[in-house]
Amino acid sequence: MNETIQTIMNHRSIRAFKDEPLSEEQITTIVKSAQAAATSSYLQVYSIIGVKDPAKKKKLAELAGNQEYVEKNGHFFVFCADLNRHKVAVEMEGLTEDEVVDSLESTEKFMVGTIDATLAAQNAALAAESMGLGICYIGGLRNNLEEVAEILKTPDRVIPLFGMCVGVPDQNPDQKQRLPLENIYHVDEYQQDETKFIEQLASYNEDIGDYYRERTQGERTHTWTEIIATKMSKPMRLYMKDFLKRIRIPLK
Residue range at the interface with a copy of itself (CB under 8 A); choices 9-17, 60-68, 166-174, 212-220: 9-17
Q: What is the three-class DSSP state of 159?
A: strand
DSSP string, 17-48: B-S-PPPHHHHHHHHHHHHTS--GGG---EEE
Name the minimum Å distance from CB 249 to a copy of itself. 10
Binding string, 182-211, against a copy of itself, x = CB under 8 A? -xxxxxxxx-x-x--xx--xx---------
DSSP strand pairing (158-167 vs 75-82): antiparallel
Query: 17 forms bridges with which residues in the sheet?
Result: 169
Scanning residues 127 to 186, which ones bind a copy of itself (CB under 8 A)?
127, 129-131, 135-137, 139, 142, 152-155, 158, 161-162, 176, 178-179, 181, 183-186
Q: Please classify residue 125 by burial: count the beta carbons closer than 10 Å to its beta carbon, then call 0-12 exposed, 13-18 middle and 19+ buried.
A: buried
Scanning residues 43 to 62, which ones bind a copy of itself (CB under 8 A)?
43-44, 46-53, 56
Q: What is the three-class DSSP state of 90?
A: helix
DSSP strand pairing (134-138 vs 158-167): antiparallel
Name the minimum Å distance from CB 158 to a copy of itself. 6
Candidates 18, 215, 220, 241; binder of a copy of itself (CB under 8 A) is 241
Name the minimum Å distance from CB 169 to a copy of itself. 15
Rounded to 5 degrees, φ, ψ at 165 are -80, 135
Name the minimum Å distance from CB 180 to a copy of itself. 10
52 in the Ramachandran plot: left (φ > 0), alpha (ψ -120 to 50) or beta?
alpha
Scanning residues 63 to 122, which ones bind a copy of itself (CB under 8 A)?
80, 85-86, 88-90, 92-93, 95, 99-100, 102-104, 106-108, 111-112, 114-115, 118-119, 121-122
Contact status, residue 200 vs residue 101, Cβ threshold 8 Å: no
Binding flag, residue 4, a copy of itself (CB under 8 A) = yes
Binding string, 15-34, against a copy of itself, x = CB under 8 A? -------------xx-xxxx
Name the minimum Å distance from CB 247 to a copy of itself. 12
